[in-house]
Chains A and B, each alone.
Chain A
């Protein structure tokens, strides 16, 4: 069975996890245009290669971020949202730019 390392709970069978979709920057719902909001809600990159994704450990309802290669289906690393935000602020991780850190960290 495949296994995935949850940043909170450690290595667990993949059956304990739920895929949460691509990790995208949420635009400000008040200030963004309709087109930006539609893009955020309905469209996906469906990129072949390294992507950043939301995953949830169902048993603890813990949401975290994984970097995965969609061609080889290899999980490169998993991290808490706080760690991911710290990385992205330092320019190490793809898929982020202006995300409001506190908005996401509150999902922990």
Chain B
């Protein structure tokens, strides 16, 4: 087992080690490349969950946030509770009329969050910087192509109707998941129905195991980052 020299570990690091995970440097720290004998480096046949807490993410909130972000050349979602994907793969989330979060790309090298953080620190814009790296864990639930098992899993732990015909791609819901406050974003991956979950970092383990428990009937299992990066190539 090789663990790269990294600065930030996922709050689930011990859980990943228990599953014989191999790690890779990514974003702000380390991510699971693949688990144990899962050297095929692909998604599970039915349903997968990935710990993406390594992704660099940041938020801004304030009356001048929209104007300032647009000045930085970022395309913003037009309405609250929606998301957009930028050409380099970063995801922009609009939580309200004055609050936006940015998630750096998983598959491509990107440091938009770092650039925005630096630019924000140099400016006197009326906008608060929200360090989401430390506040929110990030998980990604991915179905197999043509399957809605991710939506069926979510229906067991979330009261909002997230089925694909009711919850469009890049729609977002700020709601309760497994009784924890969470932000859920539908972000399909190469034709696979998929949801991002951002929830309290301190309860990351609880959320991880709650989702895994809900995934059991669909034979859902954890998958590593290689499943995304290799399939995207």
- A-side residues, CB < 8 A to B, are 8-9, 12-13, 15-16, 57-60, 62, 106, 108
Contact = CB atoms under 8 A, between A and B. Distances in A.
A40 B81 CA distance: 35
Interface in B153-177: 159-160, 173-176
Contacts of B63: 106
Contacts of B182: 59
A79 to B, nearest CB: 15
B42 interface: no
B176 A60 contact: no
A15 B160 CA distance: 13
A60 B174 contact: yes
Q: When A and B form their complex, which 6 residue pairs have the shortest distance between CB atoms, in order from nearest?
A: A60-B174, A59-B181, A59-B174, A13-B159, A59-B175, A16-B176
B174 A13 contact: no
Main secondary structure of the interface of B (DSSP, over half): strand
A58 B181 contact: yes
Contact of B97 (A9, A57, A58, A108): A108
Contact of B174 (A57, A106, A108): A57
Interface in B112-163: 159-160
B98 A9 contact: no
Contact of B175 (A12, A106, A108): A12
A9 B159 contact: no
A15 B97 CA distance: 24
Contacts of A8: 80-81, 96
Given A60-B95, A62-B96, A108-B96, A9 B173 contact: yes
19 contacts: A8-B80, A8-B96, A9-B81, A9-B173, A9-B175, A12-B159, A12-B175, A16-B175, A57-B174, A58-B181, A59-B174, A59-B176, A59-B183, A60-B174, A62-B96, A106-B63, A108-B96, A108-B97, A108-B98
Nearest to B80: A8
Contacts of B183: 59
A106 B159 CA distance: 30
A58 B177 CA distance: 12
B168 to A, nearest CB: 14
B160 A12 contact: yes
Contacts of A13: 159, 176
Interface string B62-102: 01000000000000000011000000000000011110000
